[in-house]
Amino acid sequence: MKNSTTKKFILFVVFFITYVGFSQNTIQYNDEKGSPSATLDDLKWLAGNWKGISPYGVCQENWDEPSGKTMMFCFKMISDNKVTFYEFGQIIEKDKSIEMQIRHFSGDLKPWENDKPEIFKFIKKEGNRFYFDGITYEKIDTNTLNVYVYFEESKEEIKFSFTK
């Protein structure tokens, strides 16, 4: 009897570790570790016009080439044939690493953030993934991109799939 309980416990632990370790696509920034070295050249593959879908509607994201120690982007979400919101942002080189800065606007261009942009610190590059605080960019191939975003309020992670 005890042997069966032990086996069930071990299977549960293995399942739990596997689920937690492989199902989550975003991670949170740790101030103690800081950001590793990175440059905009690491992300220059993002440059271009991306179109995609999400649970919230159709989206478009446009990235420029790295220049002036920044990569600028704009994002548009469309639902029911109406723009629901925009993002304007940049990834900048800072302190021998990179960070993402984003401002949001409603469909009629009213800003969501009052004083300053949201900051997303770079956490790490792992294979074809670039992890920022709560946002992960995954390069599938030259023309395919997944973006995972963790929403703090709802405690859920949403996948945005794009193609060039």
Q: Is the pLDDT of residue 96 over 70?
A: yes
CB atoms within 10 A of CB 35: 20
Q: What is the DSSP string of 107-142?
A: TT--BS-SSS-EEEEEEEEETTEEEEBTEEEEEEET
Burial class (CB in 10 A: 0-12, 13-18, 19+), 22: exposed
Distance CA 72, CA 59 (A): 17
Instruction: Using pLDDT thresholds of 50, 70 and 90, give the confidence band for residue 77.
Output: very high
CB 98 within 8 A of CB 108: no
Q: Is the pLDDT of residue 14 over 70?
A: no
What contacts 56, CB < 8 A, 6 or more positions away?
Answer: 77, 79, 84, 158
Per-residue pLDDT at 153: 86
What contacts 127, CB < 8 A, 6 or more positions away?
Answer: none
Q: Is the pLDDT of residue 101 over 90?
A: yes
Q: Is the pLDDT of residue 47 over 60?
A: yes
Q: What are 143-154's pLDDT values in tens digits?
A: 999 999 998 888
Instruction: Using pLDDT thresholds of 50, 70 and 90, give the confidence band for residue 32.
Output: low
Average pLDDT over residues 40-47: 96
Per-residue pLDDT at 87: 98
Q: What are 118-132's pLDDT values in tens digits?
A: 999 999 999 999 999
Q: Is the pLDDT of residue 29 over 90?
A: no
Q: Is the pLDDT of residue 140 over 70?
A: yes
